[in-house]
Amino acid sequence: MNTQLLPAGEESIRLAGRLLRQGQVVGFPTETVYGLAASSFDGAAVRKIFQAKGRPQDNPLISHIAGWEMLDGLWAEVTPQARRLAQAFWPGPLSIILPRGGRIADEVCAGLPTASVRWPSDPVAQAVIRAAGVPLAAPSANRSGSPSPTTAQDVLDDMDGRVPLIIDGGPCTVGVESTVISLAGEVPVLLRPGYITKEQAEAVLGCEVVLSDAVLHKLKEGERAASPGMKYKHYAPNARVVIIKGNFAAYRSYVAAHSGPGVFGLCFAGEEAYLPVPCVVYGAEGDEPSQARALFSALRRLDERGAQVAYARCPHESGVALAVYNRLLRAAGFQVVTV
């Protein structure tokens, strides 16, 4: 298959819409990460996403809309809690899970009785969805398990020859996947942290949002993933990543004691000058949005530079940084050292 990489524009967006209506898969930008899209109502098209990614089919997808009318057939009903969250954060990086509607393809839900939906804020994403005329099921546009793509070139690196079209909308502004909150049970549950924080959701809902155990720990034996991003190892470069918890002095001492060929630091801006190994920077300490924007590209750079082991500075575990920590945990296969 010949893969076209085209800049976002009227002609390329019309082409994307035509391909999507024909049951094809298209790479497109969102504010979070680049997605790999197919119609949420076309099971055969959705199966092509799984094939292109090499993604297990028990991992559900998120449907993307560009208007309230597109909710028809995705959810059984729009509950008051869902409406409050959507009115507060849509368009934006929040996905909401409710019992599924009657039109959404089984493949999107991976056999679950629920469906996850969001309305992205990226104008190119909205234009592609409107051109397709249907909700678009779209996971991140990378090979399954590897770091998510935040540029069109990242998508091309992973998907060249696997999809007919990638729309280049520039670098993603958020850089980590959307927050996922389930409203399908008795209490709201945060299944995947993102740019919309637990505290922000609680302020809108006026009640506690329970943090799923799977955000910071492995899924239990036999437990099914209710949301994307809950698998054991995810977002991982070829290099082995180890998270180092502790202040910078302790981190520096640990890296120095474990330095050697192929060893890299994954650190914050300004720290690389004080470390005895090559480094890749991901954002600034205390600047959580910058860490989110830079994380996945930093993980990809580790491979580009031939890293075999990367010792990662540990971010905080609250706010937007909780999303960064969650992604790092899975990239590291939960290898964490406290110093």
Write the single-letter amino acid at 195. Answer: Y
First to last CA, the chain: 49
As its CATH architecture, domain 240-338 has: 3-Layer(aba) Sandwich (3.40)
What integer is the mean pLDDT of 192-208? 98
Q: How confident is the model at residue 83 (pLDDT cuts 50, 70, 90)?
A: very high
Domain ranges, ordered by start, for the chain: 4-173, 240-338
Average pLDDT (196-223) is: 91
Give 225's pLDDT tier (boundaries 50, 70, 90): low
pLDDT at 232: 53
Q: What is the pLDDT of residues 93-122, one digit of tens each?
A: 999 999 999 999 999 999 999 999 999 999
Whether 46 has a pLDDT exceeding 90, the answer reads yes
pLDDT of residue 228: 64
State residue 230's pLDDT score.
58
| Residue 1: predicted pLDDT | 87
pTM of the model: 0.95
pLDDT (mean) for 208-224:
85
Domain 4-173 identical in fold to domain 240-338: no
- Give yes or no for a contact between 73 and 104, defined as CB atoms under 8 angstroms apart: yes
235 pLDDT more than 90: no
The stretch 200-222 carries a mean pLDDT of: 91
Q: What mean pLDDT, rounded, does the chain reach?
A: 95
- pLDDT score of 291: 98
Over range 40-45, report the average pLDDT: 98
Q: Does 274 have pLDDT greater than 80? A: yes
What pLDDT does 79 receive? 97
- Using CA atoms, how far residue 100 sits from 58, 63, 209, 268, 306, in Å, is 16, 11, 21, 42, 44
- Would you say 331 and 241 are in contact if contact means Cβ atoms under 8 Å apart? yes
CATH number for the 4-173 domain, one of 3.40.50.720, 3.90.870.10, 3.10.129.10, 3.20.20.140? 3.90.870.10
